[in-house]
Structure 1
Amino acid sequence: MMELDLMKETCQLAILDLGGLEVLLNLLDTNDIRCKIGSLKILTKISQNVQLQQTIVHMRGLQRMVNNLDSPVKELQALAAETIANVTKFQRARRTVRQHGGIRKLVKLLDCFPNSADLRANMEKDLEVARCGASALWSCSKSTKNKEAIRRAGGIPLLGRLLRSPHENMLVPVVGTLQECASQISTIQELQPLFMELL
């Protein structure tokens, strides 16, 4: 399937019509890491289609993606978070992620390094996981209840720490999430000392 042009709407709808989406989502329940990664690589691309986003939610696909955020495999975490970011473009999807503990798990992905001086061998993978987690939180933060859930899960200090990142692709979702969350007074109070540190 990866050899197909998965960005073409005709391919995306063909996968849906032929039952391929159900198979891809079922693979997320297996114990085979390679099957899960392969499935998510396809889902990440085709989940940009609005019709498929709604079908994924209807088929309980988001719950399966949230479950995979706990995996110790970094690539699997990143792909699951990136796909969640694509799917959570409407209210029901954002609510589903929150109700199944997804906000807390996505916030946990942001904690990619205990302190900025710690350069581990897996730092690049950890940063990619954090970037995908921030993208998913940005998408989820369009909901008022999710903004509060991000704050309660300890997301604001972790997002503030990521503001020091030199990588633009990290800063865009981090700043986007903070901007969404800044509509909450409690979040503004948490942000003030973080911004003072940056100045």
Structure 2
Amino acid sequence: LKCSHANILIPIVGTLQECASEPSYRLAIRTEGMIETLVKNLTSEHEELQMHCASAIHKCAEDEEIRDLVRKHEGLQPLSALLDKSENKQLLAAVTGAIWKCAMSRENVLKFQEYKTVETLVTLLTDQPEEVLINVIGALAECCQEEENRGTIRRLGGIAPMVTLLTSTNPALLVNVNKAVGGCAMDPENMAIIDSLDGVRLLWSLLKNPNPDVQASAAWALCPCVENAQNSGEMVRSFVAGLELLVNLLKSKDKEVLTSICAAIANIAKDEENLAVMTDHGVVPLLSKLANTNNNKLRRHLAEAIAHCCMWGSNRVAFGEAKAVAPLARYLKSKDPLVHRATAQALYQLSEDPNNCVTMHENGVVKLLLAMVGSTDDILQEAAAGCIANIRRLALATEKAKYG
């Protein structure tokens, strides 16, 4: 690798990048200090060598430590500069791949902002081979986690070509497009454009895609859309049979699909009419069925969905009858503070029903919630206290009835 002859380097780096899809090779590439050499050769005059180097970085940058090394050895700037060689499609695919994976670290995204990389990526959203598009939109999806880049994409007219890509058929491309559109939708101005281009309807229809990764990424993208739409209740109601489709996905076998659907339901249930429709489609028993899970991410979003779904009719009572309360009580023993917060909110809502209070008490929630009343998280503190108050009120009423 230290050799300066391109005709030797090209096959060596070519071999290396083929091997880099294996974690054990990535470890060796990192520990043997090869990243510095790969970065150095990005500025070689041989495009084939540049391509192999970029491709090796693309595969290696799955690992966070390697993403940091590429930045430390100043590899992000030459990668950005190589985007100008857009007529060599093989090179472009390798470079955009490397940029996408490097952009998974926030510090790298901030560097790309300096180098105006986002601006160049937006120009590559049309008339490119699929392989390049997957990487470009993947990179933009990572970059639009930063507010400044969401504005840049809008100003350069990048939202329309993104929304157009929601009609493609390649699952890998769709997953990245969903993430990018969802990222852009965190900005209300962008959301208005996405909605006017029918983007929300397209995301919704991707919930029918047979690929679970596409379903989950579409559901995650719908969350910021519902949150930032002007009149989200109306918008959701305009999708005929949309809510039924959403609720039915709670029968999926895929954990990520279930988690993302729970998150979407929690957002949509804030609108009373839509919550009523979801209740008619059996959202309560389906959510209750999922309660016995050890997956913390699913627990958190499921508890949020249950908390919001308690706000309609006799749903609180129905959750109790569907045996959702005892498993929720066990979530309080999780190590994840976000699970505690969502669970306390759900238990507080459920504790408005006396029978649920009895179940909670039997499952030892009082002691666990008492500890959480001292939390620095106001929302957790308030929900824990409210739940204890409801349990206590019931106990006092029972004593009074018993002993007068």
TM class, shorter-chain normalised? 0.7 to 0.9
Shift of residue 54 of structure 1? 1.1
Q: 1:162 aligns with which of 114, 124, 146?
A: 124
Shift of residue 197 of structure 1? 8.2
What letter is aligned with 2:107? K
- For the pair 1:143 / 2:116, whether they are aligned, the reply is no
Shift of residue 43 of structure 1? 0.5
Shift of residue 72 of structure 1? 1.1
Shift of residue 112 of structure 1? 2.0
Q: TM-score, normalised by structure 1?
A: 0.77
1:45-194 alignment, distance < 5 Å: 45-113=18-86, 123=87, 126-194=88-156
Retained in 2: the 8 A contact 1:103–1:146? yes
Retained in 2: the 8 A contact 1:68–1:76? yes
More off after superposition, 188-197 vs 59-68: 188-197
- Partner of 2:341 in structure 1? none
Residues 1:75 and 1:196: Cα distance change in structure 2 (over 3 Å): closer
Cα distance in 2 for residues equivalent to 1:90 and 1:197: 29
Cα distance in 2 for residues equivalent to 1:196 and 1:135: 19
SS in 1 for 2:43: coil
Cα distance in 1 for residues equivalent to 2:66 and 2:128: 31
What letter is aligned with 2:104? K
Taking CA–CA contacts closer than 8 Å with sequence separation of 6 or more, which of the two structures ends up with the larger relative contact order? 1
Identity level (%): 24
Cα distance in 1 for residues equivalent to 2:158 and 2:47: 32
Cα distance in 2 for residues equivalent to 1:194 and 1:127: 23
Cα distance in 2 for residues equivalent to 1:158 and 1:195: 12
Cα distance in 1 for residues equivalent to 2:65 and 2:91: 24
Retained in 2: the 8 A contact 1:37–1:76? yes
Cα distance in 2 for residues equivalent to 1:165 and 1:34: 33
- Partner of 1:44 in structure 2? 17
Retained in 2: the 8 A contact 1:138–1:173? yes
Cα distance in 1 for residues equivalent to 2:140 and 2:158: 15
Retained in 2: the 8 A contact 1:156–1:178? yes
What letter is aligned with 1:58? T
- Partner of 1:25 in structure 2? none
| Structure 1: gaps (5+ residues) | 1-27, 114-122
What letter is aligned with 1:72? E
Cα distance in 2 for residues equivalent to 1:196 and 1:158: 11
What does the per-residue CA deviation read over 1:135-168, in whole Å, with 9 as the maximum and x for residues that have no partner? 0011111101011111111101110111123311
Shift of residue 134 of structure 1? 0.6
- Partner of 1:31 in structure 2? 4
Cα distance in 2 for residues equivalent to 1:74 and 1:193: 32
Shift of residue 196 of structure 1? 5.5
Kindly tell me the number of residue pairs found equivalent between the two proteins.
161
Shift of residue 64 of structure 1? 0.4
Cα distance in 2 for residues equivalent to 1:33 and 1:71: 9
Instruction: Identify the structure with the greater helix proportion.
Output: 2
Cα distance in 2 for residues equivalent to 1:184 and 1:166: 25
Retained in 1: the 8 A contact 2:38–2:53? yes
Cα distance in 2 for residues equivalent to 1:65 and 1:146: 17
- Greater gyration radius: 2
Shift of residue 198 of structure 1? 5.0
Shift of residue 86 of structure 1? 0.8
Cα distance in 2 for residues equivalent to 1:103 and 1:146: 8
What letter is aligned with 2:45? P
Retained in 2: the 8 A contact 1:160–1:194? yes
Shift of residue 66 of structure 1? 0.3
Cα distance in 2 for residues equivalent to 1:179 and 1:196: 12
